[in-house]
Structure 1
Amino acid sequence: MSENKKVSIITPLFNGAQFVSETIASVLLQSYQNLELLIIDDGSTDSGPQIVEEYKKKDNRIKFIRNDHNLGPARTRNRGIEVATGRYIAFLDSDDIWLPNKLEVQLHFMEKNKTPFTFTHYEQLDEEGNFLKKMDYFPDKVDYRSTMMSNKIGCLTAMYDTVYFGKVYMADIRNRQDYTLWLQLLKKVKYAYCVPEILARYRIRKGSISSNKWKLIKYHWHIYRHIEQQPFFTSLYYITNYITLRLLRK
């Protein structure tokens, strides 16, 4: 495969020793091999960095970067985007997993349909790796407005083409920073398209922000008002739709 089709995978690491081996293995076992895995450690105090170093010795596609101090998830991911050398940018957190054909299927879809921003279906797991549910009810495509009301794009499934967009970064906020990136991209292209296959597995951690619906409402309101700078009543419209859809588990 030519260099201009390389995929750069951005993986932030913070005390992820429990799951990072499984995450790395799921990347190295991809059927599409023209990739680099950028793991950025954000001040881990467990054995996670040592585990990464061992993998790095065995595969030179792994690049390991260590922050001088804790920067938080947004700036850590953005540091990975900054040094990425691939045409395509993808994301995989250090406790999540890709299926072996994830990149191959998604890239084929992007090239066949000439679309620079895609996401896929995925499954949810608990901390022990037990299946929870399928996330396979997404529409064929989403735009800026529909994504403001309800985000269907799982970070572990998203991929964008830097030839079309250039490098686009996440807002420096504590939570939902990936959502701000999707909104930026959807201002530059009409739609993000969904690859209608389950190609990844997302781990629900106890006490995580993504498991707390009411905390999510607070972060979404901040994004509407302060990141997207929407008027008060427009933000109220979006947050009302968001709450309704979350409560209905859509």
Structure 2
Amino acid sequence: MELVSVIMPAYNAEKYIEQAINCIIRQSYVNWELIICDDGSIDGTREIIESFALMDKRIRCYHNENNLGIVATRNKLLAKAKGEFITMLDADDLCVAERISVLRNFLLVNDHVGIVGSGVQFISQNGSLKGERKYPETNSEIQNNLLNEKFPFCGAGVMIRKEVYLKIGGYRDYFEGKAWDDHDWLFRSSMHFKGANVPEMLYQYRDNPESFMRNIGPMDYKKFTIKKIAIALGKQRILTGSDFLEDKDFEGLKNLEELHEKPFKKDPSLIYRIMAARAKTNSEKIYLLKKAIKKNIFELRNYYYFLKMVTNKS
């Protein structure tokens, strides 16, 4: 049986990582290795993963003395993967017991496919189901999604052949701390390898937007513009075969950043209006719109949306 490597970066994950590790231990497919890297956690994450490694020889654990970030830690784990197939599980997420088996079997049967994902369920902090999403199943649908700025995978939910990593390499340092690192990586991979998604809901993503909404700051607009930058780089690769990062064209990259950051710099309240539109409760929307008004008292749209929400609430 083929060895499947599961990589799991972890940072201050003591609340959920035991559940995540047990999801891999309970897999119906047993020929796996779980490679975990504690990224300089200051809670009990290190002790938890070490205890599991002592109980199961298929689990290998590593530690970063300092917090290096998700990109550097994922790349460290990818370099240590020994399996013919590689998949992931984030330390606060879950997956069903058949996940490795289903994805591995798909790649065995479909030898023209290099990347396979699945449907994803969104769960709350306590594990209750909040929703689910299916992704396009065929490579043609996946390529069409990429061209139309729709990401066709659950980033951590895919399984790849090792040759994908050997050709593409790891995640790019530019995306460290900005999100969309996995999207950029899979976008680049999809240009060289065919992709697919199975319809089954195999991955469970723990959705916790509250902390981000409450702690959002005026400079967090970079978390929104990075999506547009990643998409623009992807389109550039489609048109020219390369992008600003690959060409080390830092002036071109800077101009691209400035293009997408300009609206946020012009109106510092824009980020709060965007988050208010995405908020799931009226109280969250009102809270964010109040911050928008405080940030830019001259922007009339802030008052319009705030009054609209207050009126609806009453």
TM range (shorter): 0.7 to 0.9
Distance 1:130 1:187 in 2: 36
Q: What one-letter code is carried by the residue in structure 1 that aligns with 2:121?
A: E
User: Quick check: 1:146 aligned with 2:145?
Assistant: yes
Does structure 2 conserve the Cα–Cα contact (< 8 Å) formed by 1:11 and 1:40?
Answer: yes
Does structure 2 conserve the Cα–Cα contact (< 8 Å) formed by 1:144 and 1:183?
Answer: no
- The residue aligned with 2:159 is 159
**RMSD (Å) for aligned C-alpha atoms:** 2.6
Gaps of 5+ in 1: 237-242
Percentage of matched positions with identical amino acids? 24
SS in 1 for 2:126: coil
SS in 2 for 1:80: helix
Does structure 1 conserve the Cα–Cα contact (< 8 Å) formed by 2:85 and 2:104?
Answer: no
CA change 1:164–1:201 in 2 (3 A) is closer
SS in 1 for 2:37: strand
User: Quick check: 1:187 aligned with 2:191?
Assistant: yes
Which of the pair has more CA radius of gyration?
A: 2
CA change 1:196–1:226 in 2 (3 A) is closer
Distance 1:150 1:194 in 2: 14
Deviation, 1:217, is: 3.1
Cα deviations by residue, 1:21-58 (Å, 9 ceiling, x for unpaired): 00000001101111111111111000111111111110
Distance 1:103 1:70 in 2: 29
Matches within 5 A, 1:201-216: 201-205=204-208, 206-208=210-212, 216=223
- The residue aligned with 1:171 is 172
User: Quick check: 1:27 aligned with 2:24?
Assistant: yes
Moved over 4 A (4+): 212-216, 225-228
User: Quick check: 1:219 aligned with 2:217?
Assistant: no
Q: Give aligned pairs, total.
A: 230
Q: Which has the higher helix share?
A: 2
SS in 2 for 1:64: strand
The higher relative CO (CA closer than 8 Å, separation ≥ 6) is in 1
- The residue aligned with 1:240 is none
CA change 1:208–1:59 in 2 (3 A) is farther
Deviation, 1:63, is: 0.7
- The residue aligned with 1:196 is 199
Matches within 5 A, 1:1-250: 1=1, 5-114=2-111, 115-136=113-134, 138-141=135-138, 142-144=141-143, 146-147=145-146, 149-163=149-163, 166=166, 168-172=169-173, 173=175, 174=177, 175-189=179-193, 191-205=194-208, 206-208=210-212, 216-225=223-232, 229=243
Distance 1:70 1:100 in 2: 31
Q: What one-letter code is carried by the residue in structure 2 that aligns with 1:188?
A: H
Q: What one-letter code is carried by the residue in structure 2 that aligns with 1:181?
A: W
Distance 1:130 1:78 in 2: 31
TM-score normalized by the length of structure 1: 0.83
Cα deviations by residue, 1:163-184 (Å, 9 ceiling, x for unpaired): 4552631111121111111011
Q: What one-letter code is carried by the residue in structure 1 that aligns with 2:49?
A: V
Q: What one-letter code is carried by the residue in structure 2 that aligns with 1:166?
A: L
- The residue aligned with 1:239 is none
Deviation, 1:226, is: 5.7
Gaps of 5+ in 2: 238-242, 245-251, 261-273, 279-314
TM-score normalized by the length of structure 2: 0.67
Distance 1:208 1:24 in 2: 25
